[in-house]
Structure 1
Amino acid sequence: MSVSAYLSAIRLKVIEVSRPSRRDRRRLQGKNDVLDAEQAARLVLSGQATAIPKSTDGAVEMRRIIKVARDTAVKAQTQVLVSLKAMLVTADTDLRALLEPLSTPQLVAACAQLEVDQLDTPAAAMRYALIAMANRWLQLLQEIEAHTQHLTTLTREAASELVQAYGIGPDTAAEMLITFGDNSNPCAFRSSIC
């Protein structure tokens, strides 16, 4: 549990203060924790710092967690496809001629349907690797679709009007909710968008 979460749990008011600008730090003797703490206290006491830290135990945190899982799966899927296409460059001429012109879904499907009896030649090892990578890409696709479905459901529950706004899908709406946080009404900014 973070210090902020602990202090909030025991019902102390917590104010979040942005770190000092680097320019001011250099001008005022560099990094100094005592000076930083004093500056933070002055900002709070003067009323210039009023931000309440985002909670990490609400509905928005659920969306953030699922979005992180989805984003990492998308990144992994992209890396698999890049590696598959890079490996295809060194494949034998016949296999390369068969697979290179295909679109991504067709390429993955074709690689997943390749067959290998024994790993006794470089060509057999190539087919084996292409099969494995295509299957990994397909597994990641299923994972991404599951994450997307959960994220869409959770986001529609919190801000259905926002999701329905022109040009804003569930992923963008989830990102906006995550940025906004659980501390206030997450739909308070809808009127400016819708």
Structure 2
Amino acid sequence: MRDKSDPIDAYAAGRTTGIPKSRDGMVEAAQVLRITRRSTVKARTQAMSQICGVFVSAPAALREQVADLERAALIRTLARRGPAGAARRNQGGPAPPGPSP
């Protein structure tokens, strides 16, 4: 081991500032955004999987109504038909208005 000595390594290690890096730079901000996006995509995928799982046991009439809808249209349709809408329809009242934009 040529040119290797513990005193030199110790001196080099002692020259570090000992101050931790700040976590407010652009790299850290990009990392937070990447992690947040990954988490959001995962949650959206899980929600769609749950919705599709519920349709397996849903009445055939409901399955036919939503079979050809794209994801956004499906979510809007289900939001309008939500639990409050189902309760009002069962009582003969009007369905609640859709979500506000």
Q: TM-score range by the shorter chain?
A: 0.5 to 0.7
Output the CA distance in 1 between the equivalents of 2:43 and 2:22: 26
Tell me if 1:96 matches 2:63. yes
Output the CA distance in 2 between the equivalents of 1:66 and 1:9: 29
**What displacement does 1:56 show?**
6.0
**What displacement does 1:66 show?**
2.0
**Alignment correspondent of 1:52:** none
Q: CA RMSD, aligned part only?
A: 2.7
**What displacement does 1:64 show?**
0.4
**What displacement does 1:74 show?**
1.1
Output the CA distance in 2 between the equivalents of 1:105 and 1:97: 17
Local SS of the residue matching 1:91: coil
**What displacement does 1:9 show?**
5.0
Distance 1:59 1:94, change over 3 A: same
Local SS of the residue matching 1:101: coil
Output the CA distance in 2 between the equivalents of 1:71 and 1:9: 35
TM-score by length of 2: 0.59
Q: Unmatched 5+ residue regions in structure 2?
A: 1-15, 91-98
Tell me if 1:84 matches 2:51. yes
Write the mapping of 1:89-128 to structure 2, written as runs, cut at 5 A: 89-114=56-81, 115-117=85-87
Deviating 4+ runs (over 4 angstroms)? none
Output the CA distance in 1 between the equivalents of 2:62 and 2:35: 37
Distance 1:99 1:72, change over 3 A: same
Summarize deviations over 1:140-176 as a string: whole Å, max 9, x none: xxxxxxxxxxxxxxxxxxxxxxxxxxxxxxxxxxxxx
How many residues end up aligned between the 2 structures?
71
Output the CA distance in 2 between the equivalents of 1:9 and 1:66: 29
Output the CA distance in 2 between the equivalents of 1:91 and 1:61: 45
Output the CA distance in 1 between the equivalents of 2:80 and 2:64: 16
Larger relative CO (CA 8 A, sep 6+): 1 or 2? 1
Output the CA distance in 2 between the equivalents of 1:84 and 1:9: 54
TM-score by length of 1: 0.32
**Alignment correspondent of 2:32:** 65
Q: Unmatched 5+ residue regions in structure 1?
A: 1-7, 12-54, 121-134, 136-194
Structure index of larger Rg: 2
